[in-house]
A and B are shown apart, each in its own frame.
Chain A
Amino acid sequence: MTRRTDAPLSVTRRALLATGAAALATPMLSRRAFAAPTELTMLAWYGHAEPDMVAEFEAENNVKFVPKYYTGGDNMLGLISQSPPGTFDVILSDAEYVQQLNAAGYIEALDPADYAFDEFFPEFQQFPGHWQDGTLYSVITRFGFLGVAYNTDALTEAEASTYNVFWNEKLKGKVGHFDWHLPNLGQISQLNGNAIPYDIDEAAWEAVKEKALSLRPQVGGFFDYGGTFSSLNDGQMLAFAGIGDWITGTLEKNGAKVRSVIPEEGGLQWTESFSIGKGSQKADLAKKWIQYVTSAKGQAKSANMAAYPALIPNQKGWEVLNAENPDEAKRQGMVIGQSNVMDMIRNGRIQYRQLPIQQDLETWNDFWSEYKGA
């Protein structure tokens, strides 16, 4: 006697289990492709976590950046102090605030061996404020200069090559201030001949205040980030104090008739550096990001960041930038073997923007409010 086995669509229990197991196992074979990307939180100025900067890193590491953008160092400190530890994996900070971050215990110590400092210009290998008692807390990623920003239709480069141009009669009501006391008063301090513009005694501070107040009738307004862009772009302001190529470079690349020049009295330098947030659960990934953005490839990207361009401290980054985008390298003065921005630093024409040393920050800020109300 034989059992009928002629049912054409019959499925045995074993076959069903085997098929089911295979179906369930298929995604596991390519689990990485299906895994949700790891979120990496970044506290930064606008632009640092935009696709032009992070898309490649995100794709290579299956990461998704979750940015929180701030509008200034104090705003950044406020956001950190109001968030639980570990909220931000990566923190971008201007140099003068790294010490505040460190003092408040908001950032992790870093191992210098993890980063390509040997590729950096010597001036940036032991950058002041980023190290505390021989321990590294932040890795510089970009910097820029602040000088005189001007409308090229209204002023020649020679005219704009001194801070005194702000007092020019034809600029009455057309001088704008980026609304932050530190760069503006630092520039006035440079104009007054103070070698280290933020390390001044009481007499020099009084002289800075007096000089600043004499500029007040020339001033057409005090502008935030967006207002600075629009007032320069539409020619409403013809000269601007407290900014540099990080604003005018973006406008210039889009066809606006504006430029920045480092005046004969000298310019100021801002820097941005990355740290790892204290208590970050993704410190390894954060480290990987900092390695990426300070590598030659990441640096070339950073120099040409869509939100605002900047100079970069990695010499090999200069090489990549010159190979990939020679026009931008030339525009920013990062051409190797020619007179370049490093010469300005080495010639002593550039001073660090920093917090006031002999006065409280509050003193400078209070005067700025008084100046605005004058």
Chain B
Amino acid sequence: MQRHVSLYGLTFSLPLLIWQLLFFVFPLAFLVALSFWTVKNFAMRPDFDTVNWVTMFSRPVFWQAYGTTFALAGGAALLTSVLAFPCSYAIAFKLSDTARRWAVFLMVIPFFTSYLVRVYSWQIFLSDNGIFNVMLGWIGLGPFGMLNTVGATMVGYLTLSFPLVVLLQLFSLVFIDRTLIEAAHNMRCGRLRTVFEVVIPSARVGLTIAALFCFILTFGDFVSPVYLGGGDPTTLSILITDTTKSGQQWPRAAVIALTMIATLLVVAFLAVRFAYKGRSK
């Protein structure tokens, strides 16, 4: 069967194609090319040398940062999903239509303010002389070192991704066929068991995509590890800035960035495959 390319079809598909070429394919291709350039006396020179790849991949600090970043992003995806689920479940099943609209609105509000500002404001809560420690002091506890820790980084990750994860989970939960839940209850399935045996499997796509978005956002985040984690431990985003900060080593930073992109593509592919597993049957 021969396919015809119509003007009508092109009108709608070309802008997307041009957009993708301009803002995704070309920059990505340039990033790949850049990773083979060399740097001499602070000046980048077009070249085709694998030295940047060899150097970065042979450095233990790179793999250490890679492992740290992967673990932190994975942990954030899991933690955010677990904490967001009761929230999105309650919004989907327990609230009236009006209350649900308000809840969705409240989840959108955080996006009105800068993420950087929100993270900086957490410092006021988490520092040694901050609000939390002052309140704990009232009952004779603390002070506890909360700022510049992995826990604080995780708080930042939650600030970044929690509202989005709730919304994505919610969109999946509201479309669950309610008759399935009623059927489970009719068959004397308990509430908790219904959640695990009916609700979660039915919303698997949304829950997985929500966790995936959380992973993607936190894997590349620079703000929370620096301003709440104190830059310790080093994540890949911090390593990129370290690499560019001295000696103009943008080609090596390109190697790190490309490794991050490749990782995210693999994770996204596996997550989508898991999400839609068995759905075509």
Residues of A within 8 A of B (CB): 72, 74-75, 77-78, 81, 100, 103-104, 173, 176, 179-181, 219-224, 227, 230-231, 234-236, 361-362, 364-366, 368-370, 372-373
Contacts and interface: CB of A to CB of B under 8 A. Distances in A.
Nearest to B123: A230
B143 to A, nearest CB: 10
B198 to A, nearest CB: 45
Contacts of B127: 234-236
18 contacts: A77-B248, A78-B248, A81-B44, A104-B41, A104-B43, A223-B230, A224-B226, A234-B123, A235-B127, A236-B128, A365-B246, A369-B59, A369-B239, A369-B242, A372-B61, A372-B242, A373-B64, A373-B65
A361 B246 contact: yes
Nearest to B55: A366
B84 to A, nearest CB: 29
B115 interface: no
Contact of A365 (B60, B129, B238, B242): B242
Interface of B: 41-44, 59-61, 64-65, 120, 123, 127-130, 145, 147-148, 226-227, 229-234, 238-239, 242-250
Contacts of B238: 372
A373 B233 contact: yes
A270 to B, nearest CB: 16
Given A365-B247, A369-B59, 9 more contacts: A78-B248, A81-B43, A220-B232, A221-B148, A227-B230, A234-B127, A361-B247, A372-B61, A373-B65
A255 to B, nearest CB: 15
A74 B231 contact: no
A55 B233 CA distance: 43
Contacts of A361: 246-247
A220 B60 CA distance: 22
> Which 10 residue pairs spanning A and B have beta carbons closest together?
A221-B230, A222-B231, A365-B246, A373-B61, A221-B148, A373-B234, A234-B127, A370-B61, A373-B64, A372-B234
B30 to A, nearest CB: 13
A370 B62 CA distance: 9
A219 B231 CA distance: 11
Contact of A181 (B64, B130, B246): B246
B230 A74 contact: no
B129 A235 contact: yes
Contacts of B61: 366, 369-370, 372-373
B25 to A, nearest CB: 22
Task: Identify the interface centre among A176, A361, A372: most chain B CB within 10 Å of its CB.
Answer: A372
A181 B242 CA distance: 10
A220 B230 contact: yes
B65 A234 contact: no
A237 B233 CA distance: 17
Contacts of B64: 373
A372 B247 CA distance: 18
A100 B41 contact: yes
B269 to A, nearest CB: 29
Nearest to A82: B44
Contacts of A235: 127-129
A236 B129 CA distance: 8
Contacts of B42: 74, 77, 81, 100, 104
A120 to B, nearest CB: 29
B145 to A, nearest CB: 6
Given A78-B248, A224-B226, A236 B234 contact: no
Given A81-B44, A227-B226, A230-B123, A75 B233 contact: no
A372 B147 contact: no
Contacts of A77: 42, 248
Task: Identify the interface centre among A72, A104, A179: most chain B CB within 10 Å of its CB.
Answer: A179
Contacts of A103: 41
B247 A362 contact: yes
Contacts of A234: 123, 127-130
